[in-house]
Structure 1
Amino acid sequence: MNKPIKRAFLDTEDGQIHYRIGGEGETLLLLHMNPRSSDEYRELMPILAQKYRVIAMDFMGFGDSDKPPRLYSVADYAKTVIALFDELGIEKANLLGNHTGAFVSGEVAVAYPERVNKLILCNVAGFGEVGKADLMRRFNKGFVIKEDGSHLMDRWLARARYIGSAELNHRWVLDDLKCFGYPLYAVWAVGNYCIEAAERFSLIKSSTLILWGIDDMEEFERLGLALAKDRYFLSQAIPHGKVVEFSNGTICMMNQIPEEIAKVVLEFLDGVNFEI
C-alpha cells in the first residue's frame, strides 16, 4: 500500500516554501529542475516512501512557493534546504537533485557537509561559455505573456518530441505558467554557478551517485546549451562517484521511468551492489 504524500508550507523571511512529505525513516530530500516543481517527483515519491521519509520542496520562485524578493543564488537555495531541515528537526539527510536541483544538492553537500549523508546528482550538464550565455539570455527573456494567448500553445509544443502524454505535458505547462511574468530565478542562479561548479563539486566528500539520462543530455546539445560529452566534468570532479546512465532517460525521466530510477536509487541508499 502506498504511503500517503501530504503537503505543507515552511515560513521563511523571504516567503513561504511549499513541500510534499511522506513515508517514515531516514530522510531523502528531492530537489527539482527548472522550471518544474515538486510535481516532478509525483511518480517517484510513493515508491521511495515505502522505505524512506521522502520530502520534495518547491524552490522559491517555482511551483506553489512564493516568489523571492530578490534574485536567488545557488547558495541561497542551499540555505532554504537547511531552513527546511531545521524546521523539521532533520540533522542529516540524503539528497537527490535533478538539473537545477543537482547544482543545489551539490552546494548543500559542500557548504553543509555535516547535514548530508548520501548524494544523488542527476542530469548535470557541462555548460561552456556559449551555453552559459544562452542560459542568461533565456533568463533575461523569461516567459512572456502574449495578448493573443499564443504563449499557451508555445509551451504546450515545447516538449512535444519527448513528453510522451498529454496528461504529463499538462502538468509541465501548469508549472511553466506559474513562472510567467517573473524572472526564471534558477536559470540566473545556475548560469552564474556553473563557472565554479567543477571546483565546488570537487570538494564533495559524501558517497555520491551520478545519474544521466542520455536523451536528456543529447537534448541539451540539440538546443545548443551544452555538449553531451561535457557532462563528464562532474565524474572527473567527483572521482569517487558511481555513474549510472539511462539510455531511455529524457528530460522527463523522473516522471516517465520512476521504477527504473527508484531501483537504482534504493540500491545505492541501501548499499546494495555499490562499493563507494
Structure 2
Amino acid sequence: MAKTMRRGYAPSPFGQLHYVECGSGEPVLMLHQTPRSWAEFAEVLPLVGREHRAIAMDTVGFGASAKPEGPHSIERFADGVEAMANALELDTFHLVGHHTGGVVAVEVAARLRDRVSGLLLSATSFVDAAKREAAAGRPAVDHVDPKPDGSHLVELWNRRRGFYQVGEEAALTRYVIDALTVLDRVEEGHEAVYRYRMEERLAHITAPVLAVCAPDDHYSLPSLEKFKAALGCETAVLPGGHVPVPEQLPGEFAEVIARWVSRSRR
C-alpha cells in the first residue's frame, strides 16, 4: 500500500526549513548530499515509511529551505538539523546521512549524543588533516559559469554523468534541478566539508554507527576503514551503485536503513 508523502516547514534561526515525511513510528531523519535536496530520498521515504516515521529535510541553504547569507559550514548545517529535530519534537531519532549529509550527521550526533539512537553514514568522507590538505588544490565539483547560450546546463549535466547508468536520466535530471536552485553557491557544501575538523568530534558520538558505501563510489569507499578504525563501528559495501546510490538502489538502501534501525534500538 502506497504511503502518503507529507510536506511541511519547520522554524529555525535561519528561516523556514522544508521537509517531507512518510509513515509513523520511530523517527528516521535523512540528510542529503551537496547540492541536492530531500528529492534524493524520494523513493526511499515510502519504503522506510512502511514501519517508521521517515523524514527527509532540505539542508539549510539548499532545496526549498531558507538560504541565509554568509558562509555555509558543517556547524551551520547541523544547527538546521537540530532546529528541525526540535520543531518536530523528535526526542530521540535515528539519523541517516549521505555524502555531505553524513558529515553533517557526524556533527549532529556529536552534539545531541543520546538523542541519536543510531547513526548510519552513507558514502561519508572521513575528514582529517590529510583530507583537508588534499582538498586545497582540488578542482570544482559542481561549479559552472552561466553562459548566454545555456551551454552551462550541458556542462552541469556532464559534471556527474559518469555516476549514472544509461536509463537513470530522470535521477540525473533531479540533480541538475537541485544544483540550479543554488547555482551561485553550488560549491559551498563541498567547501564546508573540507573545512570541518571531524577528528575532534568523533569521540563525542555515543550512538552505534554503521558506515556503508556503494562499490563504485571510489571517492568515499576508502573512508569505511577509517571510520572503522576511529569508531570501532560496523561497515558494509552495498550491492551496487555509485555516488547517487539512494536513487539507484532505493529498495536496497531502504532495507539497510530498516535493518540498522532494528538493530540499534535503545
TM-score, normalised via structure 1 length: 0.87
178, 187, 190: which one pairs with 2:190? Answer: 187
Deviation (angstroms), 1:201: 1.9
Deviation (angstroms), 1:131: 3.4
3-state DSSP class of the match of 1:158?
helix
Matches within 5 A, 1:64-143: 64-126=64-126, 128-134=131-137, 138=140, 142-143=143-144
3-state DSSP class of the match of 1:251?
coil
Structure 1: 5+ residue runs without aligned partners? Answer: 221-225
* CA deviation vs aligned residue, 1:89-141 (integer Å, no higher than 9, x gap): 11111000001111111111111113211110111124524532145x638x9
Structure 2: 5+ residue runs without aligned partners? Answer: none
2:226 match: 233
Report whether the alignment pairs 1:264 with 2:252. Answer: no
Q: Is the CA contact 2:212–2:236 (under 8 Å) kept in the aligned structure 1? A: yes
- Structure 1 CA distance, aligned partners of 2:22 and 2:255? 18
* CA deviation vs aligned residue, 1:12-69 (integer Å, no higher than 9, x gap): 2322211111110110000000011100001100000001101111112211112122
* CA deviation vs aligned residue, 1:197-234 (integer Å, no higher than 9, x gap): 13322332211111111211x1x2xxxxx7x5354221
3-state DSSP class of the match of 1:206?
coil
Work out the percentage of aligned pairs sharing the same amino acid. Answer: 30
141, 149, 166: which one pairs with 2:169? Answer: 166
Seen in structure 2, the aligned counterparts of structure 1 residues 110 and 129 have a Cα distance that, compared at 3 Å, is closer
Q: Is the CA contact 2:23–2:50 (under 8 Å) kept in the aligned structure 1? A: yes
1:34 match: 34
1:63 match: 63
TM-score, normalised via structure 2 length: 0.90
Seen in structure 2, the aligned counterparts of structure 1 residues 115 and 143 have a Cα distance that, compared at 3 Å, is farther
3-state DSSP class of the match of 1:9?
strand
3-state DSSP class of the match of 1:89?
coil
Seen in structure 2, the aligned counterparts of structure 1 residues 144 and 115 have a Cα distance that, compared at 3 Å, is farther
Seen in structure 2, the aligned counterparts of structure 1 residues 211 and 13 have a Cα distance that, compared at 3 Å, is same
- Structure 2 CA distance, aligned partners of 1:94 and 1:275? 9
Seen in structure 2, the aligned counterparts of structure 1 residues 257 and 120 have a Cα distance that, compared at 3 Å, is same
1:223 match: none
- Structure 1 CA distance, aligned partners of 2:265 and 2:88? 31
Q: Output the aligned Cα RMSD.
A: 2.2
- Structure 1 CA distance, aligned partners of 2:189 and 2:265? 34
1:207 match: 208
- Structure 2 CA distance, aligned partners of 1:163 and 1:211? 19
Deviation (angstroms), 1:242: 1.4
3-state DSSP class of the match of 1:161?
helix
2:158 match: 157
Report whether the alignment pairs 1:250 with 2:252. Answer: no
- Structure 2 CA distance, aligned partners of 1:151 and 1:126? 31
- Structure 2 CA distance, aligned partners of 1:230 and 1:53? 29
* CA deviation vs aligned residue, 1:149-180 (integer Å, no higher than 9, x gap): 11100112222223132211111110111111
Seen in structure 2, the aligned counterparts of structure 1 residues 83 and 22 have a Cα distance that, compared at 3 Å, is same
